[in-house]
């Protein structure tokens, strides 16, 4: 039997997603819910570049004091004018103190937080349609005014 080989990753883009003030929904049966408006941003990379439209949100579920589930939905307009619909599911974990600081909007060293995601990009055009046929993975950083996500194609 041959040794399994890990699949390769190809860097696609970095999404820099600007965010607004959170809307606190509050405690629910599944956890504490928040909605973070997406106010714009950019995509910059070797493959995909463009501007994030000021529409959409990150729907957060704080499971407990250390774990947050993230589900963001928004739209990117490529430099060539094509629109891509992005759905991004992720998980963010860290110490209770660091997660509390993030929730309050305070700065936390991204190295202290585990933030991974699986973006899905859909496009009606042929240039980016292939993305719907690939698995994408991302590593994220929550900064005070934005979220940065390095997006890779799993080959």
Quick: pLDDT tens for 19-60: 999 999 999 999 999 999 999 999 999 999 999 999 999 999
pTM over 0.85: yes
Residues of the chain above pLDDT 70, percent: 100
Q: Which domains does the chain have, with CATH numbers?
A: 9-154 (2.40.160.20)
Q: pLDDT tens across 97-128, in order? A: 999 998 888 889 999 999 999 999 999 888 99
Residue 75 token pair: 């739209």
> Which tokens is 17 given?
């997603």
Please report where in the chains the tokens 């509050």 appear, as a residue: 26
Among 13, 79, 63, 70, CA closest to 38: 70
Give the span between the Cα atoms of 98 and 31, in whole angstroms. 18
Q: How many CB atoms lie within 10 A of CB 39?
A: 19
């Amino acid at each position: 039997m041959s040794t399994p080989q890990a699949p390769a990753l190809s860097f696609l883009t970095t999404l820099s997603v600007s965010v607004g003030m959170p809307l606190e929904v509050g405690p629910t049966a599944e956890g504490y819910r928040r909605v973070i408006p997406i106010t714009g941003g950019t995509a910059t990379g070797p493959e995909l570049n463009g501007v994030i439209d000021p529409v959409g949100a990150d729907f957060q579920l704080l499971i407990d004091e250390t774990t947050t589930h993230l589900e963001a939905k928004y739209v990117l307009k490529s430099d060539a004018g094509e629109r891509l619909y992005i759905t991004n599911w992720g998980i963010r974990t860290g110490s209770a103190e660091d997660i509390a600081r993030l929730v309050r909007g305070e700065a936390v060293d991204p190295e202290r937080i585990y933030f991974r995601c699986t973006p899905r990009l859909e496009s009606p055009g042929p240039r980016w349609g292939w993305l719907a046929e690939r698995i994408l993975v991302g590593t994220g950083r929550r900064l005070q005014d934005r979220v940065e996500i390095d997006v890779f194609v799993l080959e």
